[in-house]
Amino acid sequence: MTKLDLLHQHGQSIWYDFIRRDMLDGGGLADLVSDGIRGVTSNPSIFESAIAKTELYDEQIASLGDVSPESAFEALAIDDIRAAADILASVYDDSDGEDGYVSLEVSPRLANDTAGTISDAMRLWDAVDRRNLMVKVPATPAGIPAIEELTAAGININATLMFSMADYEGVAMAFVRGARRASDPAVLASVASFFVSRVDASTDAALERVGTDQAASYLGKAAIANAKLAYRRFQEIFEGDDFATLEAIGCRPQRVLWASTSTKNPAYNDVMYVEELIGPRTVNTAPPHTIEAFLDHGEVKGGSLLKGVNEAATLIRDLPTIGVDFDAITHQLQIDGVASFAKAYESLLTAIATKQRRVVA
């Protein structure tokens, strides 16, 4: 039994925040599943690294002929997502649909387009044609109504790029409204991806600008505190009376997923965003190096997510009083996150176009 299996005994599933073609042949992902990995997530940055910076996809790019870079990327990504979904099908079946999912993001160009997001998500859902797909939709003001509509249509959604309590509240309630309208809520699966380490990176910078001893005492604490408050809200929504009627007919809660869990500051514990966020009905998606570090020297702190919640609330409440506008920070983080994924997507398309010209020549 690995530490990942122990985490699952405490109610948390570990997903792999990485995908690349060479892990889909041979051992690769199958071995990771044997070690306790229970899902896979992707994003435009991950695909940019996989496709633009390796030659693993060049042969297929050549075989696609004269198509747009967007069409080429979609063909490459769908093949990878299907292959990963098939490898994870046993996890999906054994867990009765709780785990075993692979996530694929709608076009970052649609982050502020509700109708476009709905259309793109439905198209990807049909194109991949795997029940253990989750379509990633950003929790932007335009994305949240799309999450409701897509949930109502029976599509599994990974709501992403959440940094604030307002983001979480909007996504969770969109899922509940959509589930109430779904023809079969019992088949729905969804996660709410709440980003962690980026919160500390931005909040720490603000605390350092304040420069007081009190501000220094809060360094490296805001992200975990913020996450604990989001989880408390999860418990209020999904373990309360409002969701009970849906749960009674087999609808699963939308689990909180901890994203951006690699530690950015080398002075901090490199597995702090795993160790301190362990709790029931949660997912942690981590990149390969964080998972390797946790397996090597991480500690399974069962129920760590449930400890110090009142202190977390006090910390977040006190930030404005010492000169840190936490709401502004989390709002800007979502804007920056959307822009970062859009930039990675455009860079990826440029790289594919370059490869197309080269392989044709």
- Copy the structure tokens of residue 229: 């408050």
**CA-to-CA distance for 60 and 79, rounded, in angstroms?**
10
Range 3-360: architecture per CATH: Alpha-Beta Barrel (3.20)
**CA-to-CA distance for 296 and 276, rounded, in angstroms?**
17
pLDDT at 361 over 70: no
pLDDT at 26 over 90: no
Tokens 């992707």, located at residue:
42
**CA-to-CA distance for 38 and 295, rounded, in angstroms?**
15
Domain spans in the chain, listed from the N-terminal domain onward: 3-360
Helix axes 165-181, 241-248, angle to 10 degrees: 40
**CA-to-CA distance for 256 and 203, rounded, in angstroms?**
22
- Residue pLDDT, tens place only, 294-351: 999 999 999 999 999 999 999 999 999 999 999 999 999 999 999 999 999 999 999 9
Is the full-model pTM beyond 0.95? yes
Active site residue 355: no
- Residue pLDDT, tens place only, 224-283: 999 999 999 999 999 999 899 999 999 999 999 999 999 999 999 999 999 999 999 999
Of 3, 136, 228, 355, the catalytic one is 136
